[in-house]
Chain A
Amino acid sequence: MANLFGLFSTSAFMPHGHCYLWQPSVLWAQVVSDGLIGLAYFAIPFILYRFLKARPDIEFRPLFLLFVAFILLCGGTHFLAVVNVWYPFYYLDSVLKAATAVVSVLAAIRLAFLLPQIIALPSPAALKTANEKLRRLSAEKEKANEERFQLALEASPNAILVADAENRIAFANAQTQHIFGYSQEELLNQPLDVLIPKASRQAHAHHVEGFRQEPQMRFMGAGREVRGLRKSGEEFPAEIALGPFRYAGQLNVIAFVADISGRKSAEDKILRQSSELARSNQDLESFAYAASHDLQEPLRGMLGYLQLLQRQFQKEMAPKAVHYLEQAIASGGRMRTLMEALLQYSRIGRTSQLHPIRLESLLDAIAADLHAALEECGAELRYDNLPTVQYDALELRQVFQNLISNAVKFRTEAPPLIRVAAEKRDDGWVFSVSDNGIGIPEEFHGKLFQLFQRLHSRAAYPGSGIGLALVAKAIRSHGGRIWVESNAAGGTTFYFTFGPDFAITLP
């Protein structure tokens, strides 16, 4: 404290006024000048403070602080100079000067260090030019973006419309003209209703209201099909997607409209064709059913009378007549077999009832049925690890029974070995029935599943030519596939799949 008081000690010094010889002109010039300088120096920090506060972007703030301290201290020395004229606080003055020296040297060093950075600061003019350039570039970019956006909108295969808050058309792309027939200018500011058939307007207004209540993206093909109205007055089926967006504080709606009349008419055509096909199939089946039902009667009559003739008058007939009669009856019998087969064929797929069927149980039953035939030629039927399938029991039985019977029928000298297998492949289950029989030359594979197609003489292998046709129909009528791998060298494998809707489970 003594030192501190020492600072204010004035003893041994004489006031600075003496140096001015108390000449009022010099003295007052000094006093007033120092006072004004001090005031100005004290005012500048406040101004700097206001400046820094207003311009938070200004860098070099520590430097500014040094300047503030330096200016304040300088101000202090000038005020003290005024006081020193009358009271010689030279110790205090010395300390203040020393502090000012330190701070000003620090400020100078700091400034020297920062100089390159300060030089690098752009001048307001350069800044202005740069800003200008930037503005121009960004305007160009914006324009390019807008142009690209515009081109994209125009290139869209869909009509794109923007409706404002009052459901007036604020934008329409070029495709709108192709689809609706109105030019873009014609549509601007028109109510949306001009594009909607009268009958749908109310419903549409309702939809739009609903959309505005709950503005969410609505995608195309969400099962919502609407009708559009062309300038020509023609209506067309359309698909529409909606997206909400806010523009100038208002809810706008962007609508994407696709004209699906082409697709629709193609769909209609396919529907029409498939219903025609279904009908013609139906006709064919009822024809086959009726024909074989109704044709049975006259055939029965013919055979009945022929047999009565044979029974009652054979004794009186010449041997040749007896032979003719026998041939006639045999032919009638064959015709009956064919008609029954045809009847069976026409019934496949007409009355299907799907149940889960354990293939192994089914094959057990078939093996029991065919026991005599299998035994007779020493045939071996192998199957295990077969799944359970959902199918019509009768049809499935016909599939396996026919294939197994064929394998027995078309055997070589060797005892038949018949394998039934099921394999799960990438695209689903494939079933197979394979044998070591006589094989089927490849040129006949295409004809194999045709109705009444026979590859052998009746004498060599009896049959109606309906078995494989029946198998194929039982498979194909439910969407399955059947194919064969075989050649004249021997061995045949029939492969088949069930339709995609048939549940197949492992035992």
Chain B
Amino acid sequence: MPFRKRKPSLLLIEDNPADIELVQEWVRERGLDLEIGLAGDSDEAMARLEAHYQDSSGHLPDLIMLDINLPRVSGLDFLKTIKDDLRFCRIPIVMLTSSKAQDDVDRSYSAHANAYVHKGVELDRFFRSLNCIYCLFFETAVLPQN
């Protein structure tokens, strides 16, 4: 496991304020030391990634959580953009969405999403899902050097 000298970071690409609030509440409730970047759409997300990439002192997020229902460019299209971009393609991406459509699931994995997680409506369930994601990507999996 690589030595981490910095805070683990997460880029949450989500335009629903309630979901942003819930994720933030989950971090507070769990007392996690996690840096959360926020982007409301794909343009904002790309701008953030570009900024991280060009800033020599900064670093790319360790994980991206990506909603499918985004204004203008959909999460699925943005997923393809990222995975086609050599600078960012190694960042693990979890699709975090309310869509249960099998079509969305299949297309996400076809575009190399690293996981597809349904948000769920029960708060407890949603928090459990977030816990599992955190556990896998920040505590268990070995991540690429970005």
With an 8 A cutoff between CB atoms, is B103 at the interface?
yes
Complex formed: what's the CA distance from A351 to B19 in Å?
A: 30
Tell me if B99 and A301 are in contact (CB < 8 A): no
Q: Does A52 contact B (CB under 8 A)?
A: no
- A333 on the interface (CB 8 Å rule)? yes
Does A193 count as interface, using CB distance less than 8 angstroms?
Answer: no
Contact check, B123 vs A333: say whether CB atoms are below 8 A apart.
Answer: no
With the chains together, A308 CA to B98 CA distance in Å?
18
Question: A294-B69, A297-B69, A333-B121 given as contacts; is B100 within 8 A of A304 (CB)?
Answer: no
Whole-angstrom CA separation of A347 from B17 in the bound complex = 28
Contacts of A305 in B (CB 8 A): 18, 21
User: Distance in Å from the Cβ of A285 to the closest Cβ of chain B?
Assistant: 13
| Cβ proximity bits A297-331 to B, threshold 8 Å, 1 near / 0 not | 10111111101100100000000000000000000
Q: How far is the CB of B51 from chain A (nearest CB, A)?
A: 28
- Count CB-based A-B contacts (< 8 Å): 45
B76 to chain A, nearest CB (A): 13
Interface size class of B (residues with CB under 8 A): 10 to 19
Q: Which of B22, B69, B101, B123 has the most CB of A within 10 A?
A: B123
Partner of A308, one of B99, B100, B101, B123: B123
CB-defined contacts of B69 to chain A, threshold 8 Å: 293-294, 297
A340→B16 CA distance, assembly (Å): 19
Q: Say what secondary structure dominates the interface of chain A.
A: helix
Mark B24-35 against chain A: 1 for CB-CB distance below 8 A, else 0. Answer: 010000000000
Question: Given that A297-B69, A333-B121 are contacting pairs, would A302 and B18 also be in contact in the complex, using a CB cutoff of 8 Å?
Answer: yes
Q: Compute how far the CA of A303 lies from the CA of B99 in the bound complex, rounded to whole angstroms.
A: 16
Q: Which of B3-21 contact A (CB under 8 A)?
A: 16-19, 21
Closest approach, in angstroms, between the C-beta of A53 and any C-beta of chain B? 100
Q: Which of A303, A304, A332, A340 has the most CB of B within 10 A?
A: A304
Interface pair B123/A307, CB less than 8 Å apart? yes
A293 to B19, CA, bound (A): 15
| Residues of B contacting A304 in the complex (Cβ-Cβ under 8 angstroms) | 18-19, 21-22, 123, 126
Tell whether, in the assembled complex, residue A300 and residue B18 are in contact, meaning their CB atoms are under 8 Å apart: yes
Q: Does B55 contact A (CB under 8 A)?
A: no
Q: How many angstroms between the C-alpha atoms of A299 and B121 in the bound complex?
A: 9
B85 on interface, CB distance cutoff 8 Å:
no
Contacting residues of chain B (92-119) with chain A, CB-CB under 8 angstroms: 98-101, 103, 119
24 contacts between A and B (CB under 8 A): A293-B69, A297-B16, A297-B69, A299-B121, A300-B16, A300-B18, A300-B121, A301-B18, A301-B19, A303-B123, A304-B18, A304-B22, A304-B123, A304-B126, A305-B18, A307-B122, A307-B123, A308-B25, A308-B123, A332-B121, A336-B121, A340-B100, A343-B101, A347-B101
List the 7 closest A-B pairs by CB distance, nearest first: A301-B18, A307-B123, A304-B18, A296-B98, A304-B22, A297-B16, A336-B121
